[in-house]
């Protein structure tokens, strides 16, 4: 589980910059113009000079899109039934250009230096080697008229709906990315939390961070180590709900209950439900710690159900895990083994 207050600050920053990212430029091109986009893949690629000419100040279509995005992000906190598709629709209408033009690429970030002036800001997509993934880039003009370009290093996966940093640093260096389909943030595999491990004191301190979580610990000895799979679900602060599964280990000679974050990377997949309604679904990821945090007002963790899949690379470890999983009683259900994959609900 997250330690101390840094994760809360990082999450708030993630929300703020992600909202800013999408509001700044939903593309100053009128939607009536035929240009190539994810939504309109058969049209002509918009020329660089044409995209600049059509950008100018924000037109009504761009303002409408920006307002829709703001309403979606902020509205998702108070209205769980809000239409979340506005985010992906906005990206789907951005121009797709075959390649960047010959402007000077001065920054690898989406927000240029505001002190130099920013005019005719035009966000667009550049195809990558993966046909499902696009990189975000932007053209703009400085106050002195100099034409600039910024390749952001951010990637958007059409199939998964994930917006992420290509350098694995997370959006804006936060170590967190966002899934735009279900609007939830998730951690990169390598995070600063790995240095701190886990012990039960973290859970005892979580109410001080305004967390209201249920946790489940699956413990067993294996090959000279004590292993623990810990699951969390519930409210992270009063405006975020989510889940986590972490894999931890410690030498059996260590008598205190402090575990190290494991180097064992296992394919894991999770989904979170509030009653019968699915809140979010995080695709299979090979990691030691899978997470998903969704903006929204506090939900009682007793009303949540986590459905999980974990794929093991060692049949003996899998057997021990399932044995302890079944020992939890009625709180764990739908335990199904299919080959090396274990499915269960909690």
Residues 136-195 pLDDT 10s: 888 777 888 888 888 888 999 999 999 999 888 888 788 999 999 999 999 999 888 888
Instruction: For residue 16, give the 3-state DSSP assignment.
Output: helix
Q: Distance of CA 120 to CAs 140, 143, 165, 342, 346, Å?
A: 5, 10, 25, 52, 51
- Residue 177's pLDDT is 94
**Structural domain boundaries enclosing 13:** 6-186
Average pLDDT over residues 239-253: 96
What SS3 class is residue 305? Answer: strand
Least confident of 209-213, 237-241, 297-301: 237-241
pLDDT band at 89; cut points 50, 70, 90:
confident
Q: Are residues 202 and 64 in the same domain?
A: no
Domain termination site, one of 136, 155, 186: 186
pLDDT of residue 131: 93
Specify whether 126 is located in the same domain as 27. yes
Q: pLDDT digits over 3-41, tens only?
A: 444 444 444 444 444 444 444 443 344 445 577 888 888
**205 and 326 fall within a common domain:** yes
Q: Based on the domain organization, do 200 and 281 belong to the same domain?
A: yes
Q: Is it the case that residue 103 has pLDDT exceeding 70?
A: no
Across the range 248-274, mean pLDDT stands at 96
| Together in a domain, 174 and 228 | no
CA-nearest of 216, 212, 223 to 200 is: 216
User: Residue 66: its pLDDT value, please?
Assistant: 63
Averaged pLDDT for residues 57-75: 63
Distance from C-alpha of 260 to C-alpha of 140, rounded to nearest angstrom:
47
Percent of the chain having pLDDT more than 70? 80
Residue ranges of the alpha helices (H) in the chain? 6-23, 48-55, 60-78, 86-92, 200-205, 315-326
In a domain, 1, yes or no: no
Residues 156 and 270 reside in one and the same domain: no
At 327 the three-state DSSP class reads coil
Length of the chain counted residue by residue: 346
Q: Span 214-237, mean pLDDT?
A: 97
Q: Is residue 203 part of a domain?
A: yes
Rounded Cα distance between 28 and 42, Å, is 20
The Cα–Cα gap between 253 and 257 comes to 11
Domains: count for the chain: 2
Do 154 and 235 belong together in one domain?
no
For residue 93, the model assigns a pLDDT of 81
Domain endpoint, select from 161, 186, 211 = 186
Q: Which of 186, 219, 252 is the last residue of a domain?
A: 186
Statement: residue 127 has pLDDT above 70? yes
Asked whether residue 174 falls in the same domain as residue 204, the answer is no
182 and 206 share a domain?
no
This prediction's pTM: 0.83
Question: Do the domain assignments include residue 124?
Answer: yes
pLDDT number for residue 54: 56
d(C-alpha 136, C-alpha 121), whole Å: 13
Tokens of 302: 């007793």
65 and 205 inside one domain: no
Q: Are residues 103 and 152 in the same domain?
A: yes
Structural domain includes residue 110: yes
In a domain, 134, yes or no: yes
Q: At what angle do helices 6-23 and 60-78 cross, to 10 degrees?
A: 150
Residues 157 and 244 in one domain: no
Q: Where does the pLDDT of residue 211 fall: very low under 50, low under 70, confident under 90, or very high at 90 and above?
A: very high
Please, which pLDDT band fits residue 218 given cuts at 50, 70 and 90? very high
Does 269 have pLDDT greater than 70?
A: yes
Say if 214 falls within a structural domain: yes
pLDDT at 250 over 70: yes
Higher per-residue confidence, 24 vs 309? 309
């Amino acid at each position: 589980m997250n330690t101390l207050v840094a994760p809360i600050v990082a999450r708030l920053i993630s929300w703020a910059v992600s909202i800013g990212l999408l509001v700044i430029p939903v593309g100053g091109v009128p939607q009536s113009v035929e240009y190539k986009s994810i939504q309109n893949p058969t049209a002509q690629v918009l020329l660089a000079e044409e995209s600049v000419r059509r950008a100018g100040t924000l037109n009504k279509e761009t303002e409408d899109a920006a307002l829709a995005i703001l309403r979606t992000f902020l509205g998702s906190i108070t209205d769980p039934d809000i239409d979340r598709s506005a985010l992906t629709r906005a990206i789907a209408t951005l121009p797709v250009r075959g390649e960047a033009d010959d402007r000077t690429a001065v920054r690898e970030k989406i927000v240029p230096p505001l002190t130099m002036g920013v005019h005719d800001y035009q966000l667009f997509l550049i195809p990558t080697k993966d046909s499902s993934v696009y990189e975000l880039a932007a053209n703009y003009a400085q106050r002195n008229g100099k034409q600039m370009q910024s390749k952001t290093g951010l990637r958007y996966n059409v199939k998964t709906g994930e917006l992420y940093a290509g350098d694995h640093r997370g959006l804006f260096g936060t170590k967190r990315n966002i899934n735009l389909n279900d609007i939830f943030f998730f951690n990169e595999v390598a995070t600063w939390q790995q240095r701190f491990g886990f012990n039960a004191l973290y859970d005892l301190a979580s109410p001080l961070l305004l967390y209201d979580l249920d946790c489940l610990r699956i413990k067993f000895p294996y090959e000279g180590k004590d292993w623990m799979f810990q699951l969390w679900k519930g409210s992270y602060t009063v405006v975020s709900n989510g889940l986590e599964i972490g894999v931890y280990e410690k030498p059996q000679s260590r008598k205190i209950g402090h575990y190290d974050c494991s180097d064992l990377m296992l394919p894991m997949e999770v989904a979170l439900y509030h009653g019968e309604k699915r809140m979010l679904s995080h695709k299979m990821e090979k990691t030691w710690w899978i997470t998903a945090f969704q903006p929204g007002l506090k939900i009682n963790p007793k009303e949540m159900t986590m459905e999980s899949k974990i794929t093991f690379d060692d049949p003996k470890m899998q057997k021990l895990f399932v044995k302890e999983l079944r020992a939890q009683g009625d709180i764990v259900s739908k335990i199904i083994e299919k080959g090396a994959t274990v499915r269960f609900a909690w």
